[in-house]
Chains A and B, each alone.
Chain A
Amino acid sequence: MRVTVIDYKAGNLTSVLKALRHLGAEPEVTDSDLTLVAAAERIVLPGVGHFQATERLDRTGLTAVIRAAIARGVPFLGICVGMQWLFAGSTEAPQQSGLAAFPQQCTRFSEGTEKVPHVGWNSLDVRPASRLLAGVESGAFVYFTHSYKAPVTADTAAVTTYIEPFASAIERANIFGTQFHPEKSGETGLKILSNFLELQK
């Protein structure tokens, strides 16, 4: 099973690749090969770090090619910053646009009694009918590390609460995103990645 993993130089891809290989997929990595992405059967956009790093996707022409692939129905999974990039933008880097597949903005957790960033294992409240989270029960734990989060909307596949409820997974048609790291979330995470790999176009 072919999976195209986009490298935009935001963090290390080893863990994501390892998890995909463990599940029997054959990930191919690119940071600029537009032809490869144009022919992708499924796309994973991982990413940790700063939202500004997604500027590289615009500069290399990957944004346009990914947009076209999504329009063709290619399953797309964004992880962490890769999920936030699916939104219009983030207050972390206001001048940098996201893909805007979802029109909202990502914002920072409000400072108060709890620590920011949100780091650790937290539980999912899974909305029914999610294809990405099929077989994952509400209450299952996944691993987070982030300071910015997406709002809960009609396209939210799972809600997690830290300081306030936020979208820990999103899903609409062939577009999927997880704020948490499925590659670091034990059996639950592997199940979610496996669901993504088994999606039919």
Chain B
Amino acid sequence: MITKRIIACLDVHAGRVVKGVQFVDIVDAGDPAELAARHAREGADEIVLLDITATHEGRATLLGTVRRAARELFVPFCVGGGIRSARDAEQVFDAGADKVSVNSAALADPALITAIGSSFGAQAVVVAIDARRDPAAVDPIRDAQVLVQGGRKVTGRRVVEWAREAEQRGAGEILLTSMDADGTRAGFDCELTAAVSQAVSIPVIASGGAGTVAHFTDVFTRGKADAALAASIFHFGVTSSRALKAELAQAGIPMRIPC
């Protein structure tokens, strides 16, 4: 049976994994390569590394970090942040990533999705969408606002139509972050996740709001998520992927439990 995936997310700034609530009060959480290996060992089904600075100067540092993290990593490895062209993507793939995640660059130029997908395969393109419910819309959930710049800027796009367009243009997966839930640890936005997951045929990775095991159960059942991203709950040993997955399996969610 296909299992639901637990994806460990590492936010990287200047070559270090950092953690902070909505990019404020950032604290050092360790070395990316070490943490990636540790998460894989502890049962994470996939690793996502997000470059949260994504400045021009930071690119070389990032590629070095990706190369080091990828070296001993034998589970799927996705890298995002600052990928603006097929050439940027190629460099990240050459450094050892299996997938790239694109967000604002894809919104600015949706043809980027096709450009990366046609060279590296749809499975290698993850379109990340940051969305916030829109109480003013007829359907506040399906028509949730798509945001960029860490949630500061409204794009005018609506979550379901943008997810569908991304799929049509050749995205392999959608990484959906609820800006309402992000950082709250009060649970995923299951309604938002379900709305997107049911609108597309590609997998949807839910992100934002994880705080307890029950939140994951919820997003896999009610939220119809194919995978869930867990960032802040991992780094300081709050819970390991292994412990989380064991509890989810107990709750009846199909999980890969490695030996």
Q: Is the CB of B172 closer than 8 A to any CB of chain A? A: yes
Q: Is the CB of A67 closer than 8 A to any CB of chain B? A: no
Q: Is the CB of B70 closer than 8 A to any CB of chain A? A: yes
User: Are B226 and A18 closer than 8 Å at their CB atoms?
Assistant: no
Q: How far is the CB of A8 from chain B (nearest CB, A)?
A: 12
Q: Is the CB of A35 closer than 8 A to any CB of chain B? A: no
User: Are A18 and B121 closer than 8 Å at their CB atoms?
Assistant: no
Q: Known contacts A19-B74, A119-B172, A189-B74: does B98 contact A184 (CB below 8 Å)?
A: yes
Cα–Cα distance between A189 and B45 once the two chains are bound (Å): 13
User: Are B74 and A184 closer than 8 Å at their CB atoms?
Assistant: yes
Q: How far is the CB of B115 from chain A (nearest CB, A)?
A: 14
User: Are A115 and B226 closer than 8 Å at their CB atoms?
Assistant: yes
Interchain CB contact (< 8 A) of A115 among B96, B122, B202: B202
Cα–Cα distance between A19 and B74 once the two chains are bound (Å): 7
User: Are B226 and A119 closer than 8 Å at their CB atoms?
Assistant: yes
User: Are A141 and B74 closer than 8 Å at their CB atoms?
Assistant: no
User: Are A12 and B256 closer than 8 Å at their CB atoms?
Assistant: no
User: Are A11 and B121 closer than 8 Å at their CB atoms?
Assistant: yes
Q: Is the CB of A10 closer than 8 A to any CB of chain B? A: yes
Interchain CB contact (< 8 A) of A15 among B1, B5, B96, B226: B96
Residues from chain B with Cβ under 8 Å of A18 in the complex = 70-71, 96
Q: Is the CB of A190 closer than 8 A to any CB of chain B? A: yes
Residues from chain B with Cβ under 8 Å of A162 in the complex = 2
Interchain CB contact (< 8 A) of B93 among A12, A19, A115, A188: A12
Q: How far is the CB of A114 from chain B (nearest CB, A)?
A: 8
Residues from chain A with Cβ under 8 Å of B40 in the complex = 186
Q: Is the CB of B33 closer than 8 A to any CB of chain A? A: no
User: Are B2 and A118 closer than 8 Å at their CB atoms?
Assistant: yes
Cα–Cα distance between A49 and B258 once the two chains are bound (Å): 28
Residues from chain A with Cβ under 8 Å of B98 in the complex = 12, 15, 184
- Nearest residue (CB) in A for B4 is A120
Cα–Cα distance between A34 and B5 once the two chains are bound (Å): 41
Residues from chain B with Cβ under 8 Å of A116 in the complex = 201
Q: Is the CB of B3 closer than 8 A to any CB of chain A? A: yes
Interface members, chain B 88-115 (any A CB < 8 Å): 93-96, 98
Residues from chain B with Cβ under 8 Å of A11 in the complex = 120-121, 124
Residues from chain B with Cβ under 8 Å of A161 in the complex = 1
Residues from chain A with Cβ under 8 Å of B172 in the complex = 117, 119, 145
Q: How far is the CB of B76 from chain A (nearest CB, A)?
A: 5
User: Are B70 and A14 closer than 8 Å at their CB atoms?
Assistant: yes
Q: Is the CB of B227 closer than 8 A to any CB of chain A? A: yes
Q: Is the CB of A58 closer than 8 A to any CB of chain B? A: no
Residues from chain A with Cβ under 8 Å of B203 in the complex = 115, 117, 119-120
Cα–Cα distance between A141 and B45 once the two chains are bound (Å): 10
User: Are A187 and B76 closer than 8 Å at their CB atoms?
Assistant: no
- Nearest residue (CB) in B for A160 is B2
Cα–Cα distance between A15 and B92 once the two chains are bound (Å): 12
- Nearest residue (CB) in A for B197 is A115
Q: Known contacts A14-B93, A22-B72, A183-B74: does B123 contact A123 (CB below 8 Å)?
A: no
Residues from chain A with Cβ under 8 Å of B95 in the complex = 14
Q: Is the CB of A48 closer than 8 A to any CB of chain B? A: yes
Q: How far is the CB of B114 from chain A (nearest CB, A)?
A: 13
Q: Is the CB of B54 closer than 8 A to any CB of chain A? A: no
Residues from chain A with Cβ under 8 Å of B227 in the complex = 120
Q: How far is the CB of B88 from chain A (nearest CB, A)?
A: 14
- Nearest residue (CB) in B for A115 is B201
Cα–Cα distance between A50 and B202 once the two chains are bound (Å): 16
Q: How far is the CB of B41 from chain A (nearest CB, A)?
A: 9
Cα–Cα distance between A190 and B121 once the two chains are bound (Å): 23
14 contacts between A and B (CB under 8 A): A15-B70, A15-B98, A18-B96, A19-B74, A48-B124, A49-B121, A117-B172, A119-B172, A120-B226, A121-B2, A121-B45, A121-B256, A185-B74, A187-B259
Q: Which 7 A-B pairs have the closest CB atoms?
A: A49-B121, A48-B121, A145-B123, A141-B256, A121-B256, A12-B93, A122-B2
Q: Which residues of A line the B interface, CB within 8 A?
A: 10-12, 14-15, 18-19, 22, 48-50, 111, 115-123, 141, 143, 145, 161-162, 183-190
